């Protein structure tokens, strides 16, 4: 595969796992061939209580650690239940997912809140993975491109386009998340190109990684990754199965 950008293969474990399950999953993932060659980047995002466990298990291997969420508040303080970007940095998290559709839907996360989180991550040198993606209604109605572009615009208007340099966008159509129905590689490519074209600065456009999420499996990953603007995947369900996750990883190079 001849792409300008290294693929990022990211596992979003969501609210799953236990000390025992995580240990066996990570042990299996560590056996992956090609990790040392750094062909594609591999990332796991466990729930917060397990970040420390995952950090120790990953200490001797080239697999990144990421979080699924971060507080919009700065550093530390009276914010019960929150986890700051500074704490994630302390645990050596390189990435953090923000704006996942489940957080937008179940925790009322607005674009303003997501923008604050984006800032906190940059301040702490953690790469944001900003999720955008249209609802089924928007897809069926045909205004899905406006839907997704305006999500991106509402963040970039506040944060400034230049802050997107070296960050990651995950295009995750809501109708494809956890449904078993993935976007076709053509549908995904169309949206990734649209998102990339949003960045008029060619340095940002060429370097930003736009990964696809929504029912990625070993049976559809290779075709998705063969598209010129798809730079990897954000994987939910299949990232909990080491064999599937690794087969997706292997199909990325
Ligand atoms: C996700 O939650 O980001 C996701 C893409 O889930 P799944 O792979 O299960 O569709």
Residue in 58, 52, 43, 56 with CA at minimum distance from that of residue 13 = 43
Q: Indicate the DSSP class of residue 10.
A: E
Question: Which H/E stretch holds residue 17?
Answer: none
User: How high is the mean pLDDT of the chain?
Assistant: 95
The residue annotated as part of the active site, out of 41, 100, 116, 192, is 100
Question: Would the pLDDT of 1 be above 80?
Answer: no
DSSP structural state of residue 213: E
Is 172 a known active-site residue?
yes
Full-model pTM: 0.97
Which atom of ligand 1 has the smallest separation from the CA of 237?
9
> Which of helix, strand or coil describes residue 222?
helix
Mean pLDDT confidence for 18-24:
98
Q: Is the CB of 99 under 6 A from ligand 1?
A: no
Whole-number pLDDT of residue 74: 95
43-53 exposure pattern, b = at least 16 Cβ within 10 A, e = fewer: bbbbbbebbee
Does 73 participate in catalysis according to the annotation? no
Q: Is the CB of 17 under 6 A from ligand 1?
A: no
109, 134, 172, 192: the catalytic one is 172
In the numeric block, which tokens belong to residue 93? 């998290």
Which residue's alpha carbon is at the smallest distance from atom 8 of ligand 1? 236
pLDDT classification of 38: cutoffs 50, 70, 90:
low
Cβ-based neighbours of 140, under 8 Å, separated by 6 or more: none
pLDDT of the residue at 2: 55
For residues 126-138, give the mean pLDDT: 97
Average pLDDT on 26-39 reads 82
Pocket lining: 214 vs ligand 1, CB cutoff 6 Å:
yes
From the list 78, 158, 80, the residue with the least C-alpha distance to 118 is 158
For ligand 1, say whether the CB of 173 is within 6 Å of any of its atoms.
no
The predicted-structure confidence for 176-188, as pLDDT tens digits, reads as follows 999 999 999 999 9
Ligand 1 and 239: CB distance under 6 A: no
Cα separation, 149 vs 131, in Å, equals 12
Per-residue pLDDT, 59: 94
Q: Which domains, ranges and CATH numbers included, belong to the chain?
A: 42-250 (3.20.20.70)
252 Rama sector, left if φ>0, alpha if ψ -120 to 50, beta otherwise:
alpha
CA of 238 to the centre of ligand 1 (A): 8
């Amino acid at each position: 595969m001849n792409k300008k950008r290294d693929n990022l293969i990211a596992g979003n474990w969501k609210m799953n796992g236990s000390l025992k399950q995580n240990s066996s999953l990570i042990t299996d993932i560590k056996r992956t061939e090609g990790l040392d060659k750094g062909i594609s980047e591999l990332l796991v995002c466990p729930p917060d209580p397990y970040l420390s466990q995952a950090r120790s298990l990953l200490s001797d291997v080239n697999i990144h650690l990421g979080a699924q969420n971060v507080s919009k508040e700065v550093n530390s303080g009276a914010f019960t239940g929150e986890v700051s970007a500074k704490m994630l940095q302390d645990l050596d998290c390189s990435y953090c997912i923000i704006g996942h559709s489940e957080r937008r839907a179940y925790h009322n996360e607005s674009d303003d809140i997501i923008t604050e989180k984006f800032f906190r991550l940059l301040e702490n040198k953690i790469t944001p993975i900003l999720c955008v993606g249209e609802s089924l209604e928007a897809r069926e109605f045909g205004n899905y491109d406006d839907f997704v572009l305006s999500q991106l615009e509402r963040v970039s208007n506040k944060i400034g386009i230049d802050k997107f340099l070296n960050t990651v966008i995950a295009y995750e159509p809501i109708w494809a998340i956890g449904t078993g129905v993935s976007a076709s590689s053509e549908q995904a490519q169309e949206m990734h190109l649209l998102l990339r074209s949003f960045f008029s600065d060619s340095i940002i456009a060429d370097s930003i990684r736009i990964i696809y999420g929504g029912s990625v499996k070993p049976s559809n990953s290779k075709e998705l990754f063969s598209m010129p603007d798809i730079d990897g995947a954000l994987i939910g369900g299949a990232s909990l199965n080491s064999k599937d996750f690794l087969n997706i990883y292997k199909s990325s190079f």
